[in-house]
Chains A and B, each alone.
Chain A
Amino acid sequence: MIRLIATRIAVSIPVLFIMTILTFLLASLVPGDAATQILGPDATPERVAQLNAELGLDRPVLEQYLDWLAGIFRGDFGTSLFSGEPVSRLLEQRFWPTFWLATFAALVSAIIGVTFGVVAAVKGGWAARVLDGIGMLGISLPNFWVALLLIVLFAGTLGWLPAVGYTAPEDDFGEFLSRMVLPVTAMSFAGVALIAKQTRESMAEALSRDFMRFLQANGFPRRRLILKYGLRYAAIPVLATISATFVNHIGGTVTLESVFAIPGLGSMVARGTTNHDLANIQGAVLLFTAVILLVNLLTDIVYTLLNPKVRANA
Chain B
Amino acid sequence: MFAHHARRRRNRALALGALTASAALALTACSGGASGTDEEKVLTIVSVAPPVSLDPYLQNVDPVNIWFIELAYDPLIRVDGAGELVPDLASSWEYIDDEAKQLELTLREDVLFSDGTEMTAEGVAASLSYAISTGVNGAAWLGEGTTAEATADGTVVITSAESNPSLPSLLTQRVLLGSVVNPTALDEPGVLLNGTHGAGPYVLDSESTVADSSYVYEPNEHYWDQDKIQWDRIEIDIVANTAAALQAVQSGQADLFRGDTATGESAISAGLEVEAIPFGLIGMNYIDRNGELAPELADVRVRQALNYAIDRDSIAQAVYGEWGTPGGALALEGTIGFDEETQDAFAYDPEKARELLEEAGYADGFSIDVAYVTSVLSDVTVQAVAANWAEIGVTANLVNFTDAGQAVSEITAKGYPIAYYGYGQLPPTIVARSFFDGGANQYNPWVTEDAELNELLDAASQAADPADAQEFYADAFTRAYSDLAWQGGVVNSAQVFIYDPETITNVRADTNSATPDIAWEIAPAE
* A interface list, Cβ under 8 A from B: 30-33, 36-45, 47-48, 79-80, 82-85, 90, 93-94, 104, 107-108, 111, 144, 147-148, 151-152, 155-156, 159-165, 167, 174-175, 177-181, 184-185, 258-263, 267-268, 270-271, 276
Contacts and interface: CB of A to CB of B under 8 A. Distances in A.
28 contacts: A31-B403, A32-B409, A41-B60, A41-B408, A42-B140, A42-B434, A45-B412, A47-B140, A83-B211, A84-B190, A151-B243, A152-B243, A152-B247, A156-B270, A160-B30, A162-B253, A163-B247, A163-B251, A164-B245, A164-B253, A165-B237, A165-B248, A178-B26, A178-B30, A179-B31, A180-B26, A259-B241, A261-B46
Interface string B27-64: 10111011000000000001000101110001011100
Given A104-B23, A181-B27, A260 B244 contact: yes
Given A36-B409, A164-B244, A259-B244, A174 B52 contact: no
B71 to A, nearest CB: 16
Interface stretch (B285-293, B305-313, B364-372, B439-447): B439-447
B111 interface: no
Given A83-B212, A184-B26, A259-B244, A161 B52 contact: no
Interface in B212-238: 212-214, 237-238
Residue of A31, A184, A261 with most partner-chain B CB within 10 A: A261
A41 to B, nearest CB: 5
Interface string B418-448: 0000000000000000100001111000000
B60 A107 contact: no
Given A43-B140, A80-B211, A261-B213, 15 more contacts: A31-B403, A41-B60, A84-B193, A85-B193, A147-B244, A151-B244, A152-B243, A156-B251, A159-B252, A163-B248, A164-B248, A174-B29, A184-B26, A261-B240, A276-B405
A148 B54 CA distance: 30
A164 to B, nearest CB: 5
Interface string B396-415: 00000001111011001100
B210 interface: yes
Contacts of B77: none
A22 B62 CA distance: 34
Contacts of B250: 155-156, 163
Interface string B184-197: 00000011111000
A271 B441 CA distance: 26
A1 B505 CA distance: 66
Q: Is the interface of A mostly helix, strand, loop or mixed?
A: helix
A267 B27 CA distance: 24
A80 B211 CA distance: 10
Top 7 A-B pairs ranked by shortest CB distance?
A84-B193, A40-B60, A83-B211, A263-B213, A36-B405, A32-B405, A163-B247
Contacts of A147: 244
A268 B211 CA distance: 9
Given A42-B140, A43-B136, A151-B243, A82 B53 contact: yes
B52 A38 contact: yes
Contacts of B441: 42-44
Contacts of B192: 84
B347 interface: no
A258 B136 CA distance: 28
B20 interface: yes
A174 B26 CA distance: 9
Contacts of B247: 151-152, 155-156, 163-164
Nearest to A79: B190
Contacts of B33: 162
A169 B413 CA distance: 52
B25 interface: yes
B137 interface: yes
B82 interface: no
A44 B244 contact: no
Contacts of A178: 26, 29-31
Contact of B34 (A47, A108, A175): A175
Contact of B244 (A80, A83, A148): A148
B23 A82 contact: no
Nearest to A260: B244
Contacts of B434: 42
A105 B404 CA distance: 35
B363 interface: no
Residue of A32, A108, A148 with most partner-chain B CB within 10 A: A32
B403 A32 contact: yes
Given A42-B140, A156-B250, A111 B19 contact: yes
B241 A39 contact: no
B439 A44 contact: yes
B239 interface: yes
A261 B34 contact: no
A267 B212 contact: yes
A43 B406 CA distance: 13
B29 A181 contact: yes
Contact of A38 (B25, B53, B241, B244): B53
A32 B373 CA distance: 13
Nearest to B189: A84
Residue of A31, A79, A93, A111 with most partner-chain B CB within 10 A: A31
B52 A40 contact: yes
A110 to B, nearest CB: 9
A40 B31 CA distance: 40
Contacts of A39: 60, 136
Given A84-B194, A155-B251, A90 B211 contact: yes
Interface string B238-281: 11110111111011110000000000000000100000000000
A141 B211 CA distance: 31
A45 B412 CA distance: 8
A83 B34 contact: no
B253 A163 contact: yes
Contact of A107 (B23, B53, B194): B23
Contacts of A263: 210, 212-214
A93 B212 CA distance: 12
Contact of A177 (B26, B46, B54): B26
Contacts of A160: 30
Contacts of B439: 44
Contacts of B25: 177
B459 to A, nearest CB: 24
Contacts of B244: 147-148, 151, 163-164, 259-261
Contacts of B50: 82-83, 271
B211 A174 contact: no
Residue of B404, B413, B439 with most partner-chain A CB within 10 A: B404
Contacts of A48: 409
A260 B62 CA distance: 24
Contact of B253 (A45, A165, A180): A165
B31 A162 contact: yes
Contact of A31 (B34, B270, B406, B412): B406
A76 to B, nearest CB: 14
B241 A258 contact: yes
B212 A271 contact: yes
B212 A268 contact: yes
A85 B27 contact: no
A164 B27 contact: no
